[in-house]
Chain A
Amino acid sequence: MTTETSTPAQRRPGPWRLTGYAAVQVLSVVPLIVLLVLWILGAALVLVWAGLAILAVAVPATRWLVGVHRRMAGRVLGTPLPEPYAPVPPGPLAWVRPVVSDPMTWRDLGWILVATTLGFAVSLLVILLLLVVVTAPVWWFAAPPLMRLRSQVDRFFLAYSRTERLEQRVQALTESRAEVVDHSAAELRRLERDLHDGAQARLVALSMSLGMADATFDQDPEAARRLVRDARETTAAAIGDLRSVVRGIHPPVLADRGLGGAVQAVALDMPIPVEVQVRLPGRPPAPVESALYFAVAECLANVGKHAGARHAWVGLRHERGVLVATVGDDGKGGADPAAGTGMLGVRRRLAAFDGTMRVSSPVGGPTLVTLEVPCALSSPKTTPSSAPG
């Protein structure tokens, strides 16, 4: 969520500049009408495909031109209006759904109707007040309120109100909470299965071996010894199972060394060389640390499994209140983040912390996954390999 910081220090534009904005607004009317016609045409022809081609041009053009007006309105009002569009994935037809389902698309169109009529009239008035020389004194005093009025109307259409933004936030939180609950329930089921099929089953076998050894000790010491040896092997296997379950819950090296050290440890276990660059002045909160660790580990596991890469690299840094992890490889690319359940799990886990995952993986490579989680770092800590604490 973008924070709204009103900056009174920001200089409001004077009458001359405002009139310049008004001129842009007046001149925009023609392209805006053209765009509106394109939209109507595109929508009408959508069934014969030609419409999609028209819209493929009209959508970005509209967003760009509306963006110009959004920025002007922001300057006039002294608070920038955030870019409100839902993210559009790349791809020939992938834009259709997010654009159509984005309410801001329709608000843009509604705004065009107003901007080419009422808004046009207000902006034209400001210019005329200046051009008709006798009214220049009126212009000097009337331009700022008139332009503010117009900008407020623009803002009404082009930016979400506080209530709307809160509603969107609640919606996003509800979704991510449901996902987190699902995720943790699935994790518990997995743990239960791992313990039940692994360590628990082995302990049962162990107890059986020992019981049989106990029973046969007197008649056949050699057989009993074999059973004890079996029991020891079963114990070793059970310990191995427990160890892997523990790693799945919270890897010990993460507890020991934090995110940087744990990622380094994962990198060392990779079959290909992985370069790790850590620039973290402190430690993120434990849940974030754990989520990012598993996310990076999952990305690296995918590199090992699918990418056919010769080298990989991991970067961890913290800038402007956001922890950024990047995982790249020189493999064959073409990774689809929606394909594997693993990556879906990563996305969900990060969503719980308002984190995001972006994947850039053109066919032929390279692949770059960027994970971002807003968080604060705890107080700086000395490097782990320095004097024992």
Chain B
Amino acid sequence: MRLVLAEDHALLRAGLTQVLEGAGFTVLHAVDNEPELQRALRDPSADAAVLDVRLPPTHTDEGLRAAIAVRQERPGFPVMVLSQYVEQLYARELLASGDGAVGYLLKDRVSDVTEFVEGVRRVAAGGTVLDPQVVSTVMARRREEPLDRLTPREREVLALMAEGRSNAAVAARLGVTEKAVLKHVSSIFAKLDLPVDEDDHRRVRAVLAWLHV
């Protein structure tokens, strides 16, 4: 798996490169500004990208815009976006830029190396990974149709799915069997009127429905 990495802090860039290469990824290009990122993303041999939202020259949201733009040019191109802070607004924009293969995490989640690497893998495989902080703000919303049809347990399962966890990981987190999780998941799909489809794809749709994208 060959990655494009964009991060303007030299220390963090080196750290991320080390973490990712240690996990078996190849970092093709490690860049620290937006113009170079644009060039790197045009490299056809890149399989996925890990991007910081804030990059030179303007230090605003060019990383995010680059992510959305590249996914318009190369539909389904996996992008993991990292940021010092998370916004639901940005999460929505990323989710709306294509079906799945997108991640949005706080930068400090990198400190949990195994989970971070797992997140990148999941995104590269077409999954959706959202930061727990984004998920919890959505959770705080008043119940709305069609999500108010879900039981509290199902909402918990959906929240963990939105964070990008597999059934096994959800089961471990909730302290139940994988079979029980599977039951909740199929109940969620039924209640959200999601058509029977390939599993990964449906998980993404459930998350999208939840975020009202």
Contact = CB atoms under 8 A, between A and B. Distances in A.
Nearest to A273: B144
Which of B84, B89, B93 lies at the interface centre, i.e. has the most chain A CB atoms within 10 A of its CB?
Answer: B89
A355 B61 CA distance: 30
B34 to A, nearest CB: 7
A232 interface: yes
B140 interface: yes
A388 interface: yes
B183 to A, nearest CB: 30
A302 interface: no
A363 interface: no
Which of A243, A252, A271, A388 lies at the interface centre, i.e. has the most chain B CB atoms within 10 A of its CB?
Answer: A388
A246 B108 contact: no
Contacts of B140: 271
A46 interface: no
A358 interface: no
Which of B34, B38, B90, B144 lies at the interface centre, i.e. has the most chain A CB atoms within 10 A of its CB?
Answer: B90
Interface in A238-280: 239, 243, 246-247, 252-253, 255-257, 261, 264-265, 268-273
Nearest to B67: A388
B92 A385 contact: no
Nearest to B211: A268
A236 B110 CA distance: 11
A270 B141 CA distance: 7
A27 to B, nearest CB: 62
A264 B89 CA distance: 7
A235 interface: yes
B28 to A, nearest CB: 20
A94 interface: no
A253 B93 contact: no
A385 B85 contact: no
A265 B88 contact: yes
A388 B62 contact: yes
B61 to A, nearest CB: 4
A146 B144 CA distance: 72
Contacts of A257: 60-61, 89
On chain A, which size bracket covers the interface? 20 to 34
B92 A268 contact: yes
Interface string A371-385: 000000000000011
Nearest to A265: B89
Interface string A33-46: 00000000000000
B74 to A, nearest CB: 14
A388 B55 CA distance: 12
A388 B61 CA distance: 9
A268 B87 CA distance: 9
A48 interface: no
A134 interface: no
Contacts of B62: 388-389
A296 to B, nearest CB: 15
Contacts of A384: 61, 65
A133 interface: no
B108 to A, nearest CB: 5
A268 B111 contact: no
Nearest to B64: A256
A269 B93 contact: no
Nearest to B97: A385
Contacts of B87: 253, 265, 268
A243 B61 contact: no
Given A388-B66, A388-B69, A253 B108 contact: no
B78 to A, nearest CB: 18
B142 A246 contact: no
B89 A232 contact: no
A247 B66 contact: no
A387 interface: yes
Contacts of A270: 141
Given A269-B88, A270-B141, 15 more contacts: A232-B111, A236-B108, A239-B108, A256-B53, A256-B54, A257-B61, A268-B87, A268-B89, A271-B142, A272-B141, A384-B61, A385-B65, A385-B68, A388-B68, A389-B62
Interface of A: 232, 235-236, 239, 243, 246-247, 252-253, 255-257, 261, 264-265, 268-273, 384-385, 387-389
The 5 closest A-B pairs by CB, nearest first: A388-B65, A256-B61, A268-B88, A256-B60, A265-B89
30 contacts: A232-B111, A236-B108, A243-B85, A247-B85, A252-B54, A252-B84, A253-B90, A256-B54, A256-B61, A257-B61, A257-B89, A261-B89, A264-B89, A265-B87, A265-B88, A268-B88, A268-B89, A268-B137, A269-B88, A269-B137, A271-B142, A384-B61, A385-B65, A385-B93, A387-B69, A388-B34, A388-B38, A388-B66, A389-B58, A389-B65
